[in-house]
Chain A
């Protein structure tokens, strides 16, 4: 029964997705959205149904150790639940927000296929099977960005190239792992991190971090924020990709390898995490667009998770995974508020927004809770997961802690600015223009964001619920091995709490200073932008020169010229030599088949004689 349920968790959304493509759109324009909501509800039901069980099975598949193996562990059960829940909320939301878009049908089809591939990737217990689903996600990612409005195709290509490259790294990592471990099963052996093992680890970690959108594989996300549909941002870069990427990173660190603090890859991961936190949040700080600001935060928050897992300490890993859950909750809630603002006010440009709080009280409330949560304000959920990550980071070195804490400061500062600019303050005449009719968003859009905001509070006040019920059991051996008191409840290290509170207070002071200086909420961080040294970096970034994708393209152009010459030569072999010799062979054979029956009889008899002679030679020789 569980076996059937797991297969259905993959098959049902896939079939529903394909079905939406053939539904009669003209007669029933609501059908794709309805089917998507139903299928996601079904997925959610399955995820809840299988949640308490541990189950694994394997069917033979491609041979060479590649099996169709699915496994439901604590970790995957809980990520599957997350995927199902987020996709359900987002499809419900997009049923309204996308209802007018002409690409609604295709969008829902891609969402459902994404859910199917994600469920497959989370349940897969064989690395090649995982690669198959992982690759499928790349295709749906491309298709969903391409379904956006303005210049989406270039962005889709950019995402495809970046994520595709990390997928390639993952593929090599899987090959290397299979070679070293002698198995492709994901729960058979744990390799130690020395020599080639560390290389395999890093390659697979690149695949995971690429999916999660950490630096330097992030640069398509801010572009997509402007070009792709908002529900897409809430679903993929907002929640599903983080869940998948961090889930897989945790699997790699816990099930495939033995990650110890002594290994040199642990600091590598921590530096990637720290750099992601700081650089992305600095970019988020100065954004003047609601969605783009959120997109940079979507990158920055991944840094905390990678930092947490990279510490290789139980407290850090628990914190990283808890942060993964929390981030998915508040980040998708934030993206949904952005979608509501976009729908009602017609823009997400902060320069044209202001004072929406009065017209959209529910959206504002949801925003406030989610923003407090992402900034790490107690007692919301983000506070608790960040404290756990801080705890782990400080144990590994004060510099990691300092960077993480600085990240908190800028996060808080940028959300103060965002909230001030969008929802509060007195709108200027220009900001009011054309927005007299702004009203609250319809309920199917409000329910998901309110539910998510509510979860921010629940997971904060009762953080024992997610930590003790979901995350610690999911870790199993890793969490038990070094148990130093409960992870849940209020943080034990009061010094860290005080420092956090201090930093948050500083952020408020900084905001007050900036607002007084420029006279408006949007200008709250201008003094940081204009700080000596920083300004030139920001300007350089604005030209795109610091985008790794741009650099890659530049290098690729040079390499391409050299390869072109080689390519022509190979091309000649394929296109001229191979084709012509194949055609010549075919022509000769056709000539031989003249249709003359005598000739055919002759061949038959000759064949028979030859076979009898061979038989005689072999059998006679053996005697």
Chain B
């Protein structure tokens, strides 16, 4: 069953390319169907571990074990929901049928990588699937022929991502090598045992692997590539990339390692705490004065990823839950915000917030859903983001990390400040004269935004129930 999650998107890609040129319009809906299956799989009963041993002779060195659990289900759910939203945005913003076809293909390729990340249990396979995802991302960013791309900017954004990704690859491969030298095994469980013995080589390997993932997840100071890559990408690509792709390859992998390998051991915990806190602060302050809407959202992403990593440094009993829930909330709200940005860009032709003003009265639905998402990420009750932040603070508090808990709370204020400034600059006030003819965007583009906003509200209000399910399900 688990291997199907890898095979289905893969076969779907091959199938799409066998379609006659006339039938390519269906590609987007086929990809959408695969994502529906993905969401269904996330809710399906946890299937047992299966062991696909690809290289029987090298079993010990290159095991290839797949297993799903609550955490994997969470990633699949996020991937499915965000992917659907991205496809719906693509349907309305890519005018060329070839672009839509192309995008659908790459979403499926990335999905293979994401599902792999969700299910693997060893560092080498993790590295492989992170790279699979990254390759799909490079192409998505650079695809200059796609509409709405800003020529050389796209190349610049992708170039930075590739350069830093190469460094990450080197770090992670070195880490795998070191771990093999140290223990002769590379499963997460084996790594945990090696770390427990305070073996320096194993710890250096873990440090390097973490650095690689920090680059992928764009944590400060490994975040240089992110803003340009997000800003340069065309609208649906930003939705998909910001919502799930980079989060899965960097942050989710960190979650998995924190859960299965680090287990709160020093100095891994301290590294996560410090990097998380620095990321939160720097990301939030960077977002504060941005004028490009997508760039502000990009830095906000950086800051929010810091929260997740910070939670992993807290009391792991709550920390994993908190990080997972914040991961979900962020995936939902941020992809929704990028979808809103896409709507604004489509109607106004710009993302420069200095040129906007009073759009709210012209685009009330977009303004409303944006408010829901921004307030949720800023952590205002009763929206979903409030609860995940509360859990994060609780995880830190229980671990006795009061200073870090204080950072988490105080930076929420900065988060609120930059998001309110976004709302004010874009939506509030009287519409400027040049936007007098702007009207609400197409219903097709509103559907993903409204649906995701409703998820945020429902999760927030129904939180006691959600928490009960989360605790019962052991996610």
Residues of chain A at the chain B interface (Cβ within 8 Å): 7, 59-64, 68, 582-583, 585-587, 589-590, 593, 595, 597, 599-601, 603-608, 611-612, 614-616, 618-620, 622-623
Contacts and interface: CB of A to CB of B under 8 A. Distances in A.
A618 to B, nearest CB: 4
7 contacts: A60-B464, A62-B390, A590-B290, A604-B222, A606-B221, A612-B211, A615-B200
Interface in B22-60: none
- For the residues of B in contact with A, the DSSP-based class is helix
Given A59-B468, A619-B267, A589 B417 contact: no
Nearest to B159: A597
B472 to A, nearest CB: 10
Interface in B151-165: 156, 159-160, 163-164
Contacts of A583: 288-289
B467 interface: yes
A622 B198 contact: yes
A575 B214 CA distance: 35
A616 B468 contact: no
Contacts of A599: 224
Contact of B271 (A603, A606, A611): A611
A606 B278 CA distance: 15
Contact of A615 (B204, B318, B417, B465): B204
B143 interface: no
Contacts of A606: 221
B222 A612 contact: no
B61 interface: no
Contact of B171 (A63, A608, A620): A608
A614 B282 CA distance: 21
A62 B471 CA distance: 13
A620 B267 CA distance: 11
Contacts of A604: 164, 167, 211, 215, 221-222, 224
Given A599-B224, A611-B211, A623-B198, 7 more contacts: A61-B467, A589-B285, A600-B224, A601-B224, A603-B222, A604-B221, A619-B203
B167 A601 contact: yes
B467 A614 contact: no
Given A605-B167, A608-B211, A619-B267, A597 B224 contact: yes
B227 to A, nearest CB: 7
Contacts of B318: 63
Given A601-B164, A618-B266, A619-B267, A587 B289 contact: yes
B252 to A, nearest CB: 20
Nearest to B283: A589
Contacts of B156: 595
A397 B338 CA distance: 72
Contacts of A607: 211, 214, 221-222
A583 B208 CA distance: 34
Contacts of B270: 614, 618
Contacts of B464: 59-61, 68
A620 B164 contact: no
Contacts of B163: 597, 601
Contacts of A622: 198
Nearest to A68: B464
Interface in B437-475: 463-465, 467-468, 471
B12 interface: no
B384 interface: no
Interface string B190-208: 0000000011100110111
A595 B163 CA distance: 13
A603 B282 CA distance: 14
A590 B286 CA distance: 6
Nearest to A607: B221
A1 to B, nearest CB: 16
Give me the 8 closest cross-chain CB pairs, A-B, nearest first.
A600-B224, A68-B464, A618-B267, A603-B221, A615-B207, A586-B288, A59-B464, A608-B211
Contacts of A615: 200, 203-204, 206-207, 267, 271
B210 interface: yes
A130 to B, nearest CB: 14
Contacts of A605: 167
Given A60-B471, A63-B390, A589 B286 contact: yes
Interface in B274-289: 282, 285-286, 288-289
A63 B390 CA distance: 9
Given A604-B222, A619-B198, A623-B198, A59 B207 contact: no
Contacts of A612: 204, 207-208, 211
B394 interface: yes
- For the residues of A in contact with B, the DSSP-based class is helix
B414 interface: yes
A63 B464 CA distance: 11
A594 to B, nearest CB: 10
A592 to B, nearest CB: 9
Nearest to A605: B167
Contact of A614 (B167, B271, B465, B468): B271
B354 to A, nearest CB: 15
B185 interface: no
B200 A616 contact: yes
Contacts of A600: 160, 164, 224-225
B228 interface: yes
A229 B86 CA distance: 49
Nearest to B414: A582
A608 B225 CA distance: 16
Nearest to B200: A619
Interface in B404-454: 414, 417
B374 to A, nearest CB: 18
Contact of A608 (B159, B208, B290): B208
Interface in B201-247: 203-204, 206-208, 210-211, 214-215, 221-222, 224-225, 227-228
B329 to A, nearest CB: 16
A63 B394 contact: yes
A398 B228 CA distance: 83
Interface string B140-182: 0000000000000000100110011001000100000000000
Contact of B417 (A582, A597, A619): A582
B223 to A, nearest CB: 8
Contacts of B286: 586, 589-590, 593
A585 B285 contact: yes
A616 B221 contact: no
Q: Which of A595, A611, A623 is most buried by chain B, counting CB atoms within 10 A of its CB?
A: A611
Contacts of B222: 603-604, 607-608
B467 A586 contact: no
A619 B285 CA distance: 34
Given A604-B222, A618-B266, A618-B267, A595 B289 contact: no
A585 B391 CA distance: 28
Nearest to B393: A63
Contact of A60 (B282, B285, B468): B468
A611 B203 CA distance: 11
A595 B204 contact: no
Nearest to B398: A63
A269 B41 CA distance: 61
Contact of B200 (A590, A593, A623): A623
B154 to A, nearest CB: 14
A589 B290 CA distance: 11
A599 B164 CA distance: 11
A59 B288 contact: no
Contacts of B417: 582
Contacts of A62: 390
A583 B289 CA distance: 7
A191 B289 CA distance: 53
B142 to A, nearest CB: 15
B224 A59 contact: no
B227 A593 contact: yes
A623 B267 CA distance: 13
Contacts of A582: 285, 288, 414, 417
B160 A611 contact: no
Contacts of A620: 200
